[in-house]
Amino acid sequence: MLSQLALTVNGAPTVVPSGTTVAVAMAIAAQTCRTSVSGEPRGPLCGMGICFECRVAINGKPHCLGCRVLCEPGMDVRTNE
């Protein structure tokens, strides 16, 4: 259960425990999730898939909710794409 996995967050290699969500991996990598329409950096607010502040691109697929997706080995997570 406590094994680790590696993914990339905005190109930077990041190692997290398995079972970690993408939104948490972003926090571990010290990255915010999206830039708001007026240019503010934003991170997760509700933690339960309602506020949409944690949306990121996962493996090229845009608008994924980081708080609802579990990290997988080799995953490529990017902000604002």
Partner 1 sequence: MSRTVRPRFDILVVGGGPAGMAAATRAGEHGQKVGIIDDNATLGGQIWRGESEAGSAASRWGERLRSSGAMVLCGRVFHQPEPRILLAENDDGLQELHYEKLILATGARERFLPFPGWTLPNVMGAGGLQAMVKCGLPVRGKRVVVAGTGPLLLAVAAYLRKHGAEIPIISEQASWMSLARFSVMLFAQPSKIVQGLQLKRQLAGTRFCAKSWPVAASGRATVETVTISRSRRMETIPCDYLACGFHLVPNIELPLLLGCQIHDGCVKVDDFQRTTVADIFCAGEPTGIGGVELALVEGEVAGLAAAGRIAEASSLFGKRERLRRFARSLDRTFRLRSELRSLSLPETIVCRCEDVRYSRLREHSGWRAAKLQTRCGMGPCQARICGPATQFLFRWNPDSVRPPIFPVRVESMAGVAGDANLELCETTGGR
The contact pattern for partner 1, residues 11-30, with x = CB under 8 A and - = no contact, is -----xx-xxx-xx--xx--
Asked if residue 67 binds partner 1 (CB under 8 A), the reply is: yes
How many Å apart are CA 4 and CA 37, to the nearest integer?
A: 35
* Sheet hosting strand 61-65, strand order edge to edge: 12-17, 4-9, 76-78, 55-58, 61-65
**Count of residues of this chain found to bind partner 1 when the rule CB under 8 A is applied:** 36
Binding site for partner 1 (CB under 8 A): 16-17, 19-21, 23-24, 27-28, 32-38, 40-53, 55, 63, 67-68, 70, 80
